[in-house]
Every structure is written in C-alpha cells, then in structure tokens.
C-alpha cells in the first residue's frame, strides 16, 4: 500500500513538472513495483494520468495557457485511435508488448536527453514552423500544415495511449516544441489537456467493457493526483533543462531494466 502511494506521488509529480513523462513511467512503476501485467496496468495508469492531467489542465485554463483549439483537435483524433491501440494490445503477448514499450522508452529518453543537453539547438524565434502564432492576436494561424501536423500528433499519441497506457504527453510535448513557436508553459498546459481527454475517454471505454481496478490501483491513482499538485507547485522553481535531463536518465534506466526483466528474467 505504501509503495503504491509513493509510486503514485512520483508519477503525478513528473507529469506536473514536465507535462509529459508521467504516463511513460506509470506502466513500468506498476509492472516492476506492484507486479501488474501490462494489460492490467494500462487502465490503472490511464486513470491515474487522466485524473492528474485534468487537475493540471484546469490550472492551465485558469492561467490562460491552454491552446484549447489545438488541444481539442489532437484529443478528438487521439480518442478515435486509442481503441485501435487497445485492440492491438490484446492481440500480442505480454513479452512482445513489454519489449515494444521498453524500446519506445529508450527512444524517448535518448531524444529528450539530446534535446536538453544540446544548448546549440534552440530555434530562433523567427524560424518558420508548421504551427505559428500570429503576433497581432497571439493565436495560432490555422493553415493546412498546422492542421495536418496536429492531427498526426493526436492520432499517433492516441494509438500509443490505447496500446501502452502512456498518456501521449511524451509525444505531444516534443512535437509541439519541434513544430510550433508556442511557449513551453503553453505546451505543457495544452499537453495536459490532451492527456486528460484522451486517457479519460480511453479508460472509460475499458471500464465499460468490464475492466476492474484493484485497491492498490486506486491508491496509486489518488496519490498521483497529489503528486500533480506538488509538481505544479514546484515547476516554476526548478530549471526546465535539468528536469528534462533528469527525467531522460530515469527513463533510460527504467527502460533497460524492463528489457532485461522481460527478455532475461533470470538476471533481475
């Protein structure tokens, strides 16, 4: 019970600090820490991430940081593709699913570390990107490039949400940074909105189809919300670059442990 609470606080805290990452660590926390299978851990992780992200989204809306039109576009497509991810998850073995999850974690960890460590790659404010803000209004310019970019990000994040229970923020935040000139505070707040909507609709679907969450899962979910509160409080006081590097290192270590535990169980 105590371990479930501590893991929940940690996952919620990461989500609150970065706008991503909570979901990518939630399933490994449940699998390695509490002994859940991937299929059992997925709805618990989604519920925890959705509840915590909703709290962060409300905070972002209150502060006027959420790009709600972009968020709704990505969330609607994410919700459409999430059931396909759930179907795929039930067609493959736990070992294959866990290996795929670990490889995704490795990719994200290495990419995030390179982004944070390479100070020279910061893009100039004037560089044209797929989704640009109108300086006169402060709103996004909705052209074909912007529509298709956000639609693709939402679809892929929804697929991974259903298949791996990861929330999607690990894709949304880097993609927003790459393809738009929205501020990091706006990116995090919008990411939390998409995570809350996609994860929430996905987990509701699994519950309607008979999935049950164990007591330890509810403890994990409740404490993840507490962790979100702590993370949102601490975020303005911590350097974003160091947070990203620290998260990337933790994700890399967890991914390696999962790969070894899944494919070489005798070594761990």
Global pTM? 0.73
Cα–Cα distance, 264 to 268 (Å, whole number): 8
**Which residues make Cβ contacts (< 8 Å) with residue 127, sequence separation at least 6?**
181
Annotate 110-127 with b (16+ C-beta within 10 A) or e (fewer): eebbebbeeeeeeeeeee
The pLDDT value recorded for residue 148 is 94
Give the residue ranges of DSSP H helices in the chain. 2-18, 22-28, 34, 38-62, 68-89, 94-117, 144-164, 169-179, 184-208, 215-234, 240-263
Cβ atoms of 254 and 25 within 8 Å: the answer is yes
The pLDDT value recorded for residue 266 is 64
The pLDDT value recorded for residue 151 is 93
Nearest to 21 by CA among 253, 259, 248, 258: 248
Evaluated on CA atoms 186, 103, 7, 225, the torsion sign reads: positive
For the chain of 268 residues, list the mean pLDDT of each consecutive stretch of 10.
90 76 76 83 84 85 88 91 85 81 79 70 58 86 92 87 69 79 83 84 79 87 89 76 75 79 69
Burial (CB count within 10 angstroms: exposed 0-12, middle 13-18, buried 19+), residue 268: exposed
Cβ atoms of 196 and 53 within 8 Å: the answer is yes
The pLDDT value recorded for residue 165 is 63
**Which residues make Cβ contacts (< 8 Å) with residue 138, sequence separation at least 6?**
none
The pLDDT value recorded for residue 262 is 77
3-state secondary structure (DSSP) of residue 87: helix
């Amino acid at each position: 019970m105590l371990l479930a609470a501590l893991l929940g606080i940690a996952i919620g805290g990461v989500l609150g600090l970065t706008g991503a990452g909570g979901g990518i660590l939630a399933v490994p926390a449940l699998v390695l820490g509490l002994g859940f299978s991937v299929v059992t851990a997925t709805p618990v992780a989604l519920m925890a991430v959705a509840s915590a992200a909703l709290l962060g989204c409300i905070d972002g809306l209150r502060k006027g940081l959420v790009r709600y039109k972009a968020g709704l576009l990505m969330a609607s497509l994410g919700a459409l593709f999430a059931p396909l991810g759930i179907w795929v998850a039930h067609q493959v073995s736990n070992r294959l699913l866990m290996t795929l999850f670990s490889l995704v974690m490795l990719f994200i960890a290495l990419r995030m570390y390179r982004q944070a460590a390479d100070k020279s790659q910061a893009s100039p404010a004037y560089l044209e990107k797929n989704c640009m803000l109108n300086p006169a209004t402060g709103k996004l310019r909705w052209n074909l490039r912007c529509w298709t970019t956000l639609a693709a990000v939402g679809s892929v994040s929804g697929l991974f949400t259903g298949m791996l229970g990861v929330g999607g923020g690990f894709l949304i935040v880097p993609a927003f940074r790459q393809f738009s000139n929205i501020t990091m505070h706006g990116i995090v707040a919008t990411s939390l909105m998409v995570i809350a909507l996609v994860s929430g609709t996905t987990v509701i679907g699994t519950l309607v189809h008979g999935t049950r969450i164990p007591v330890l899962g509810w403890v994990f979910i409740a404490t993840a919300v507490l962790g979100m509160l702590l993370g949102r409080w601490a975020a303005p006081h911590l350097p974003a670059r160091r947070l990203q590097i620290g998260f990337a290192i933790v994700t890399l270590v967890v991914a390696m442990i999962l790969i070894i535990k899944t494919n070489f169980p005798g070594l761990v």
